[in-house]
């Protein structure tokens, strides 16, 4: 959600900023802009639309000379997408420029205060309030003005700030919205995420909450909001830079689907040692695991769907009761956390605002939090009491695929670990499950090789208006994710239902030709799901079934069947989701949708 890039150094800033913003397109945006100091004044160019509009407007940055600047891709919150609402924003004299990711919650009273003092506003944004506040408090010392503003604003923010009177400095500020800074021999950088600077430096420093950074072309200084200088330790990013490139695939989403066998293997293999599960970074002893009386899983979107699967798997294997909450609901329902509760938060980025807030709420109540995240050094990774990483590498497409698969297998490992320590899984069962886990990467590869057949089927439903996904138990969790994949990238209305709930109202929506995708991988529930398939087919539905090899009986109730390899029923999500991902992808491609950057969506939701 929104992207910030800044540069100060020896090279021209605009091309570097445009390149960095391009690497952050996956975060979602509706407009883009840059502010560049040309040696005399700050110049701003901004426009609604994709980044190529700004690139064309500035001829790739050539018409905006200067060696320091800040850039931004905006995802509209306050005010519709427009040139006026796009970032950067100026103060009244156009001597201070600001870019902002986040939400200033008290901007209305602050805006009234500034208007009462004679300030005029050109936009509807909360960000412009910051520009005018900085102007009001600036008396020649940028750091002093910034700290005064920070003491008066409420909400979340990552800021890049330029002062015309200080053309050798850029300032970066952070509270609850991700921000990093980096440095190489040519200059210093600010960015919302690592991919923006990976081409230029692998040495980055994570800016913590309520920290201010003063960047010059050859060094950086860090301060608290009380202007006290602090020391920070940079980290070295070991990502493969090519991981953030398409590598010949038409879309990042397709590339990332094809990376799932490697992602699953990378997440599983290092944790299986001598027929045991060893999660080195988890830092939980057997005594810690035995002390867990209940687990609360908290997440958003697809990560929430992995949590729904995990409820079945953990309760089945470890016999620990599990509650699963959407993070935004967990925050505000005043949850009851009893002694022995462990809170597990799941987030690809490690920066998801509601999930991070749930972590902090849980810790404030005295409960330990386990974070399952993909990004090393992210806020959740740093703040959680314990952490387990999913080794998915950078995921660029807004619609998650490989990070989802990595989260699933991480949760399988966790459930098996807890089940074995608690004596709920026999040695023979544990060994057999390990073997099934090891087979998953090759089985996923096999399913991806069947893409042409799924593509042909998907082409029949490019014009669909409504699609329903049904399943029971773990199959219901699979249906939720399959439905989300379709709706978020193809814009087709899609819903997932627990199959047993069909007769409680939902079946009235079935009409002649309606597509119903029925997932049936759980042996104990197979016959019941077939009954539901027969019910919808009798009312005119076209039934697509996803089931395990050998379940030929399903062909009597389905119009089209996709078979997945046999695996432990607890692991079925990892296989059944693959054809549903491909189905959603090819429907969206057939409709001509922007698969990697769906409308109105952002990769990392860092505001409420």
- Residues acting as catalytic residues: 2, 603
Using the structure block, give the residue that is written with the tokens 């609604």.
48
Backbone φ and ψ of 142, nearest 5°: -60, -40
CA–CA separation, 384 vs 361, rounded Å?
12
Question: Which tokens is 216 given?
Answer: 């010059």
| 466 strand-pairing partners | 493
Instruction: Give, in order, the Cα–Cα distances in Å from 180 to each of 185, 277, 394.
Output: 17, 34, 16
Task: Taking each helix axis as running N to C, give the angle between helix 260-268 and helix 402-421, from 0 to 180 degrees, rounded to the nearest 10.
Answer: 30
CA–CA separation, 45 vs 68, rounded Å?
14
CA–CA separation, 539 vs 554, rounded Å?
18
558 close to 432: Cβ distance less than 8 angstroms: no
CA–CA separation, 584 vs 603, rounded Å?
18
Q: What are the residues whose beta carbons fall under 8 Å from the beta carbon of 527, sequence distance 6 or more?
A: none
Helix, strand or coil, per DSSP, at residue 113: helix
CA atoms within 13 A on the CB side of 480: 19
Question: Which tokens is 196 given?
Answer: 């923006």
Helix, strand or coil, per DSSP, at residue 14: helix
Calculate ∠ Cα 40-43-45, nearest 5°: 165
35 close to 61: Cβ distance less than 8 angstroms: no
Burial 55-72 (b: 16+ CB within 10 A, else e): bebbeebeebebbbbbbb
CA–CA separation, 195 vs 202, rounded Å?
10
Task: Taking each helix axis as running N to C, give the angle between helix 572-591 and helix 402-421, from 0 to 180 degrees, rounded to the nearest 10.
Answer: 170
CA–CA separation, 143 vs 147, rounded Å?
6
CA atoms within 13 A on the CB side of 541: 28
DSSP per residue, 153-212: --EEEEEEEEETT-TT-EEEEEEBS--EEEEETTEEEEESSGGGTTTT-SEEEEPPTTEE
CA–CA separation, 109 vs 113, rounded Å?
6
Handedness of CA 541, 547, 553, 559 (dihedral sign): positive
* Beta strands 542-548; 560-564: pairing state: parallel
* Beta strands 211-215; 170-175: pairing state: antiparallel
DSSP per residue, 286-306: HHHHHT--EEEEEE-HHHHHH
């Amino acid at each position: 959600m929104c992207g910030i890039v800044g540069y100060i150094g020896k090279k021209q800033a605009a091309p570097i900023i445009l390149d960095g913003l391009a690497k952050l397109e996956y975060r979602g945006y509706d407009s883009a802009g840059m502010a560049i100091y040309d040696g005399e004044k700050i110049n701003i160019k901004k426009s609604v639309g994709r980044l190529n509009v700004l690139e064309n407007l500035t001829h790739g940055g050539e018409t905006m000379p200067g060696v320091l600047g800040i850039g931004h891709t905006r995802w509209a919150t306050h005010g519709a997408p427009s040139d006026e609402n796009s970032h950067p924003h100026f103060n009244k004299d156009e001597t201070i420029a600001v870019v902002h990711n986040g939400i200033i919650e008290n901007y209305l009273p602050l805006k009234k205060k500034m208007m009462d003092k004679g300030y005029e506003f050109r936009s509807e944004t909360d960000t412009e309030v910051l520009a005018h506040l900085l102007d009001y408090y600036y008396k020649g010392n940028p750091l002093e003005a910034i700290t005064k503003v920070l003491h008066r604003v409420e909400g979340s923010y990552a800021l890049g700030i330029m002062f015309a009177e200080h053309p050798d400095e850029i300032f970066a500020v952070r509270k609850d919205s991700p921000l990093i800074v980096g440095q190489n021999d040519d200059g210093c950088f600010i960015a919302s995420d690592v991919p923006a600077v990976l081409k230029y430096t692998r040495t980055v420093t994570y800016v913590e909450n309520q920290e201010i950074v003063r960047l010059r072309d050859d060094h950086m200084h860090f301060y608290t909001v009380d202007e006290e200088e602090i020391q920070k330790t940079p980290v070295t990013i070991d990502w493969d830079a090519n991981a953030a490139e398409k590598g010949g695939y038409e879309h990042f989403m397709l590339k990332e689907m094809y990376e799932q066998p490697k992602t699953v293997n990378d997440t599983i293999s290092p944790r299986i040692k001598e027929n045991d599960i060893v999660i080195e970074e988890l830092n939980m002893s057997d005594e810690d695991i035995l002390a867990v009386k209940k687990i609360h899983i908290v997440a958003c979107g697809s990560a929430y769907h992995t949590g729904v699967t995990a409820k079945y798997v953990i309760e089945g294997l470890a016999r620990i009761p599990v509650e699963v909450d959407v993070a935004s609901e967990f925050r505000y329902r005043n949850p009851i956390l009893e002694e022995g509760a462990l809170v597990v938060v799941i987030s690809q980025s490690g920066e998801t605002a509601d999930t991070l807030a749930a972590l902090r709420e849980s810790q404030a109540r005295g409960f330990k939090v386990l974070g399952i995240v993909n990004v090393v050094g992210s806020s959740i990774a740093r703040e959680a009491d314990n952490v387990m990483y999913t080794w998915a590498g950078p995921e660029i497409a807004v619609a998650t695929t490989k990070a989802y698969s990595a989260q699933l297998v991480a949760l399988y490992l966790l459930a098996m670990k807890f089940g074995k320590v608690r004596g709920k899984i026999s040695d023979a069962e544990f060994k057999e499950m390990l073997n099934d886990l090891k087979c998953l990467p090759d089985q996923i590869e096999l399913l991806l090789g069947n893409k042409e057949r799924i593509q042909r089927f998907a082409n029949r439903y490019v014009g669909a208006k409504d699609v329903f996904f049904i399943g029971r138990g773990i199959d219901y969790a699979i249906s939720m994710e399959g439905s989300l994949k379709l709706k978020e990238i193809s814009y087709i209305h899609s819903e997932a239902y627990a199959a047993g709930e069909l007769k409680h109202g939902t079946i009235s929506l079935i009409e002649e030709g309606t597509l119903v995708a029925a997932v049936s991988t759980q042996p104990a529930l197979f016959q019941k799901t077939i009954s539901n398939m027969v019910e919808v087919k009798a009312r005119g539905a076209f039934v697509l079934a996803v089931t395990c090899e050998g379940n030929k009986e399903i062909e009597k109730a389905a119009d089209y069947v996709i078979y997945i390899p046999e695996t432990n029923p607890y692991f079925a999500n990892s296989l059944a989701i693959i054809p549903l991902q491909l189905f959603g992808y090819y429907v969206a491609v057939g409709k001509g949708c922007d698969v990697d950057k769906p409308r109105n969506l952002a990769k990392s939701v860092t505001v409420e």
